[in-house]
Amino acid sequence: MLFLTLARKMYLSNLQYRSAHLVHNIASALFGLIYVSVWTGIGEGRSLGEYGLNGIISYVAFNQASLWIAAFLNNGLGMEQSVRTGQIALDLVRPVHLFYQLMSKEWGQIAYQFVYKFLPIYALYFFVLPLHVPSSVITYVWTAVALTLAAYISICLNYIIGAAALWTTESRWLYWVNYAFSMLLSGFLIPIEWLPPWLAAISRASFYPFLHYVPTRIYLGMESPSALAGSLFWCALFTVVCLAVTGMMRRKVEVQGG
Amino acid sequence: MKWIHMYALLVRASIRSRMQYKFNFWFSSIMAAIINVVEFLMLAVILLKFGHIKGWSLAEAGYLYAVLSLSKALYRMFASDVHHLEKYLVTGSLDSLLLRPVPVLLALMSQNFSIKFGELIQGIAILAFSMGTMMQTGQITWTALPLTVIVILSGSVLLFAIGLLTATAGFWITRIEELQNITEDAARTAAQYPMSIYPKWLQGLLISVIPVGFANYMPSLYILRHEAGIWLVGLSILVALALFTIALRAWKIGLARYQSTGS
């Protein structure tokens, strides 16, 4: 099956850099510890709402690990690069839809990152932090579903960012701006209900909460799985947009002269 | 003197080549500013809601943040491609720099020079807000201003030294991106917050192994909170200069080991 083949190849090509990625996990885990320390500092002598100190530590730590599933994908699914090299023209004439091709590859990337990034960081936090662990298997299942939907939204988002490169040649900046907004609006560091009202309103009207806030709260047992209806809604909407964008791309391709 | 003149010349050439893509330049400046603002906003949101973090107010935390981001902007401006040495090592393009009649480090520093407008404006704005607030409450006086300038400059030397040492490791291990993630990105992010929030081992790490704490936190203890004495500022400068000297030494040794890539 094409999907599995593409995903598997991507997984295997990442495997070559396994040891470098494991070193990188040290930095990633450190970032998480910095955020945990911020909340430990804030929590000194204060009660932290429905989360409590341990709750917020688990919240931030789980978010840090799940970055590797829901946020850190290939910049624009690698499209910026293929626009520059002209590879994009070849990719578009293949007998498979471009979105399907790139998405299949990216699932391989995510599978790899789950095994070599998410799991090691999660395991580390499990031992060094008071990390909340769900007591029922059902919670794990729903968390996995939530993260899978988050990953799909992120794939679509990066597809659109990558497609922008056809018009602007460079889309790296869009990737980082999206990342910055996502930090703030997805509830990555600060639970959405603690944002100033105007920011919280923007966040709730967007898809960002479904990347971090909703999955992590499901993991912590603070949100019912029915919240995932929102994830499904955004997945469907993004799929439509991605297909429409591909249609526009077909008419826009310009191969760079070299 | 001759080298400074050379450096200025190379920088001018670098700016000219960059300005061929004007839109790209302005667009990336604006985007960098937005990213930085959002980053600070996260800290501000938390402190506005909870008041202070381990006794550090928003103005004080803002000061720490602004001083560090200005130091970083200066370092990345004046030594831009030191951070990107990996690219040169992997592709072998360091060879062309070796042929130039200027020290390799200077040539590397002047490559892809860009004025970090976004970071500078944002840093100065937050610094002005923080220091203004603290002056109004009488926590600091005008004397803090020259001290702050000194701290920013010494901090940029310190960050440069850390960056250079990390880059130098590339002569042995070639791929340094992961290492940079730890010594530059993670360590600097940690120093954006008051260091007292960290567990002891991490505090120790940030003032000894990767002494980025001397870029803002240590001197601020004196400037903002009048703890210890002015020698804290002196010590910070000393640490920066010492590390820089070590980094230059290491760079020389590393460069002598350089072997180009085959292709």
Asked if A190 and B179 come within 8 Å (Cβ–Cβ), the reply is no
A-chain residues within 8 Å CB-CB of B195? none
Q: Is B186 on the interface with A (CB under 8 A)?
A: yes
A 183-212 residues inside an 8 A Cβ radius of B: 183-184, 189-190, 194-196, 199
Q: Is A34 on the interface with B (CB under 8 A)?
A: yes
Q: From the first residue on, what is the mean pLDDT of each consecutive set of 10 residues in chain A (258 residues)?
A: 91 87 90 94 87 94 95 88 85 90 94 95 95 94 97 96 84 83 92 94 96 96 94 96 91 70
Give dist(CA A30, CA B186) in Å, integer.
Answer: 7
Using DSSP's 3-state secondary structure scheme, residue A135 falls into coil
Domain-embedded: residue B52: yes
Count of Cβ atoms closer than 10 Å to residue B25 Cβ: 16
- Contact call for residues B65 and B40 (beta carbons, < 8 A): yes
pLDDT at A60: 96
- Contact call for residues A60 and A212 (beta carbons, < 8 A): no
pLDDT at A216: 97
Q: Is residue A2 packed enough to be buried (19+ CB in 10 Å), middle (13-18) or exposed (0-12)?
A: exposed
What is the token pair recorded at A247?
């249609």
Give dist(CA A140, CA A143) in Å, integer.
Answer: 5
- The CA distance from B243 to the nearest CA of chain A, in Å, is 22
Nearest to A210 by CA among A193, A236, A235: A235
Under DSSP, the state recorded for A206 is S
pLDDT at A31: 93
B-chain residues within 8 Å CB-CB of A195? 45
- Nearest CB neighbour to B53, from listed A24, A38, A196: A38
Asked if B50 and A42 come within 8 Å (Cβ–Cβ), the reply is yes
Domain-embedded: residue A38: yes
User: For residue B14, what is the enclosing H or E element?
Assistant: helix B2-18
- Contact call for residues B208 and A52 (beta carbons, < 8 A): no
Give dist(CA B87, CA B130) in Å, integer.
Answer: 38
Domain-embedded: residue A75: yes
The four Cα atoms B110, B111, B113, B119 give a dihedral, to 10 degrees, of -100
Spans in chain B with pLDDT lower than 70:
262-263
Q: Is B178 on the interface with A (CB under 8 A)?
A: yes
Domain-embedded: residue A258: no
B-chain residues within 8 Å CB-CB of A189? 42, 46
pLDDT at A89: 86
Asked if A189 and B31 come within 8 Å (Cβ–Cβ), the reply is no
Domain-embedded: residue B263: no
For residue A32, the enclosing domain spans: 2-252
Residue A197 makes CB contacts below 8 A (sequence gap 6+) with none
pLDDT at B178: 87
What is the token pair recorded at A47?
């009660």
For residue B30, the enclosing domain spans: 2-257
pLDDT at B262: 62
User: For residue A244, what is the enclosing H or E element?
Assistant: helix A228-252
Q: Is B193 on the interface with A (CB under 8 A)?
A: yes
Give dist(CA A220, CA A127) in Å, integer.
Answer: 17
Residue A9 makes CB contacts below 8 A (sequence gap 6+) with A105, A108
Give dist(CA A245, CA A240) in Å, integer.
Answer: 9
Domain-embedded: residue B262: no
Nearest to A26 by CA among B123, B160, B177, B249: B177
User: For residue B203, what is the enclosing H or E element?
Assistant: helix B200-207
DSSP string covering B106-170: HHHHHTT----HHHHHHHHHHHHHHHHHHHHTTSS-TTHHHHHHHHHHHHHHHHHHHHHHHHHHH
Using DSSP's 3-state secondary structure scheme, residue B56 falls into strand
Give dist(CA A216, CA B75) in Å, integer.
Answer: 38
Domain-embedded: residue A133: yes
Number of domains in chain B: 1
Asked if B50 and A46 come within 8 Å (Cβ–Cβ), the reply is yes
A-chain residues within 8 Å CB-CB of B175? 20
Which amino acid would we find at residue B227? E
Domain-embedded: residue A257: no
- Contact call for residues B165 and B247 (beta carbons, < 8 A): yes
Q: Is B175 on the interface with A (CB under 8 A)?
A: yes
B-chain residues within 8 Å CB-CB of A27? 178, 181-182, 185-186
Q: Which residues pair with B53 in a beta bridge?
A: B56
- Contact call for residues B178 and A27 (beta carbons, < 8 A): yes
Number of domains in chain A: 1
* ipTM of the complex model: 0.88
Q: Is B55 on the interface with A (CB under 8 A)?
A: no
- Contact call for residues A58 and A157 (beta carbons, < 8 A): no
